[in-house]
Structure 1
């Protein structure tokens, strides 16, 4: 299962459509608390973060994950507007594993969702 922490409805739609067509389990969270609850209920194989998200507080989410031993090893990938170098640098500093421009994320979405077959034991 992949967890997407995204508040941009266009990206939620893209991710849901791609996951559905690939048969990949997907859960969407729209807040820090919701995301942490979902991760603790069932650890995802990957967490996707909209680094431009204002309501989801992606950097606080990653910080909380890194502090929690059970969540700290879950891979993270974030997408961001390529001109937001401040956000890109902050995401690197907070420990986001992979950071992509929004266009690159969209281009590689199928490959990203298929990593580890979207499942985690």
Structure 2
């Protein structure tokens, strides 16, 4: 189905997302740093970013990639801790296509992804 780039250094949650989306028929490539992600994301249909990752500023990364035209046709999905509303706000301002709490990502990842992909 879709090729998904996942920026998620968290091994446990990243593996959960990879597995859930693989079951839904998607191919997931997980990245732990933004430098490799920047090169690879144009070859993907969707970018998912862990906004809670230490040492990574997902909102600034997506904003920078949008400004450089690196995400022209790639929708973005970010997930955050439900108690961190400032992170949600920053991600929305950065131009994420969708921003959801981590708990919702865990429950509804396949539906969220399908909602952001172009209809076949």
* Smaller-chain TM-score bracket: 0.7 to 0.9
Contact persistence 2:51–2:79 (CA under 8 A): yes
Q: Which residue of 2 aligns with 1:77?
A: 77
Stretch of structure 1 that moved more, 78-87 or 104-113: 104-113
Deviation by residue 1:55-91 (Cα, 9 ceiling, x = unmatched): 3331222022211224233111111011101111111
Q: Which residue of 2 aligns with 1:18?
A: 20
SS in 1 for 2:21: helix
Q: What is the TM-score of this pair, normalised by structure 2?
A: 0.85
Cα drift, residue 24 of structure 1: 0.8
Q: What is the TM-score of this pair, normalised by structure 1?
A: 0.84
Q: What's the Cα RMSD here?
A: 1.9
Tell which has more relative contact order, 1 or 2 (C-alpha 8 A, sep 6+): 1
Cα distance in structure 1, aligned partners of 2:70 and 2:85: 30
Q: Which residue of 1 aligns with 2:31?
A: 29
Cα distance in structure 2, aligned partners of 1:93 and 1:20: 30
Runs (5+) with no aligned partner, structure 1: none
Deviation by residue 1:10-60 (Cα, 9 ceiling, x = unmatched): 2111111112222211111111111101114x1x11111111112333122
Contact persistence 2:41–2:47 (CA under 8 A): no
Q: Which residue of 2 aligns with 1:7?
A: 9
Stretch of structure 1 that moved more, 51-60 or 29-38: 51-60
